[in-house]
A and B are shown apart, each in its own frame.
Chain A
Amino acid sequence: MSRYLISRIGQALVVLWAAFTLSFVLLQALPGDAVLIKFLNPDFGLSQEQIADIRASYGADRSVTAQYLHALGNVLSGDFGYSIQAGVPVRQLLAENLPATLRLACLAFLAAVVLAFAVTLLSTFATFAWLRSAIQVLPSLFISLPVFWLGIMLIQIFSFRLRLVSVINPGPWEALILPVATIAVPISAPLAQILMRNLDAVAHQPFVTVARAKGASRAFAFWRHVLRNALLPTLAIAGVLFGELLAGAVVTETVFGLNGIGALTHKAVGNQDAAVLQAVVLFCAVAFVVITLFVDLASPLLDPRLRSKTGAPA
């Protein structure tokens, strides 16, 4: 087990190192760095020597290899360089904006789980067949909605038509209702799809038939036997979902005018502020790798069948 643990952590570190290297190659080694883009602007009226000085102070004049080693060392010590546009450390920008986005993402994740469960349960237990098939279509609809459009439509309907949620000076929680709903809807779609597929697969397993034959009611067999077995595979997409939450935040924070990592990313791309974008991308990769690692390590604890390779096939 410890051998497995070490090799899994080693793999995760390799992926992270590769992520850093790739983003470095893409964003820093290419010609036309951000320093030049900003300071060659004639408005600054800088001479060639002054630009060379600024480049030296950012370390942009050294060889690519030296820059790479320097940047790698900095990232390892938690230093992501300076935002060229804002002139403050990227680390500070991230720290300032992370809490708001994490709050949005966590609430959206909870809402998505609730929504996915509601859709799945309704598609299983709704009384009429036509209602069940109508609900089964919902995830494919949710996944086809442009997130930014959904946000605008929610503002339109709930703020301007129904006047339920105020958009002018809303309370701190009221301001989160619509953004959370906006991110939650597309996130719930893959969750609901996987849940439905698993429920369907598990419901046809022999042990469910046995449980039913022994007198378990439909509901008891569902809650006690089917759902428990169907839940585990949904953990596998947890890492992907986190990334999607952050991507959803880019769009949602722009639509609703919120501050956070998403709005920061949007601004960084507009200003060609590569250091900020690189830090956000790396943050996503780290989160993905850590969550995936955690899920891989936790799965055997939750499902005894995964503990030994010689056990009964799942």
Chain B
Amino acid sequence: MTTPPAVTNAFSGRGSGHLDRLRGASPGLVLAWLVIALVVLWAAAPALFTEYSATVGVPAEKLRPPSPDHLLGTDALGRDLFARIVHGSVHSLSGALVAVAIGLVAGTMLGLVAGSIGGLVDDTLMRIVDVLLAVPALLLSLSIIILTGFGTINAAVAVGAASVAGFARLVRADVIRVRRSEYVEAAFGSGGTYAAVLWRHVLPNSLTSAFAFAALQFGSAILSISTLGFLGYGAPPPTPEWGLLIAEGRNYISSAWWLTAAPGLVVVAVVLSANRISRAVGRSTP
């Protein structure tokens, strides 16, 4: 992939050059990495960031606005909101990882089978992919959830399953391209078995765009998981899952704005950062 031309246009008169853009974008990228690193640390060692419990509150201190004691205030049960957000990061991050892994693995398998076997198998699989792409991801996830029931893992699986079709389509296109290349022909010619050539040559060379897509999928997986959590299909209370935090804070929007604003801003920051990083990754991969 070549570097895309600098954004903007012939109409500004003062087109910004590629270098300007790099210089302008880098701080954003650094910030994005910092946000993700911080959230990963929250998930790995929440005790380092807060001494409050995420699930046990002090009823006397309920609905306190943000203060030095409680950085982001407390909720209706007197639980520290910052502590709940920090402890909740592990649910969102692991859920998104599971979702992306499911999409990547299942989608790659499907794409590899369809692209390498071809013919009727390819046609059948790709029509199924067409169907899956015709239905919005949220409704696909809901269709899975109505079967499997509610829960953290179920929500993650549902989000992952909804992204399988996108992965399959990308991988299939790459497999078909790679299969026609000379080094694959050479590998067959030098006596490689079908499975071995597929595994050693076709698969590794067909994953580039799938990985870039996976990076992009991470941000939207966090969004989808928080949406399912908000709708009440994810982790049950009192789990401090981010979407659930916002759903619980909804009852207090007139009196305690911080209960909805803070977790939402965290989700936005993480998703923005993940998307920013994935764009940088997608651009630098050849």
Contact = CB atoms under 8 A, between A and B. Distances in A.
A149 B135 contact: no
Given A140-B275, A269-B146, A243 B260 contact: no
B10 A288 contact: no
B54 interface: no
Contact of A246 (B14, B139, B140, B250): B139
A129 B139 contact: no
Contacts of A141: 268, 272
Interface string A175-208: 0000000000000000000001001100110001
Interface string A214-250: 0000100010000000000000000110011011001
A144 B134 contact: no
A208 B223 CA distance: 40
Interface stretch (A74-82, A95-103, A270-278, A297-305): A270-278
A208 B128 contact: no
Nearest to B271: A144
Interface in B202-222: 219
Which secondary structure dominates where chain A touches chain B? helix
Interface residues of B, number: 52
Contact of B253 (A156, A222, A269, A285): A156
Interface string A121-142: 0011100010011001000110
Contacts, number: 160
Contact of A288 (B134, B146, B223, B247): B134
Interface string A259-281: 00000011011101010011011
A284 interface: yes
A247 B139 contact: yes
Which of A144, A148, A156, A285: most chain B Cβ within 10 A?
A144
28 contacts: A15-B130, A15-B134, A19-B131, A22-B131, A27-B143, A124-B9, A124-B11, A140-B275, A144-B219, A144-B271, A148-B243, A152-B246, A152-B250, A155-B253, A156-B260, A160-B253, A200-B7, A200-B9, A208-B10, A239-B134, A243-B139, A244-B136, A246-B136, A246-B139, A247-B137, A254-B231, A269-B231, A292-B134
A60 interface: no
Given A15-B134, A22-B128, A22-B131, A274 B146 contact: yes
A203 B10 CA distance: 6
Interface string B1-45: 000010111111010100000001000000000000000000000
Contacts of A26: 143-144, 147
A147 interface: yes
A56 interface: no
A143 B275 contact: yes
A14 interface: yes
B268 A144 contact: yes
A10 interface: no
B270 to A, nearest CB: 9
Given A136-B7, A200-B9, A243-B135, A145 B268 contact: yes
A149 B260 contact: yes
A277 B9 CA distance: 46
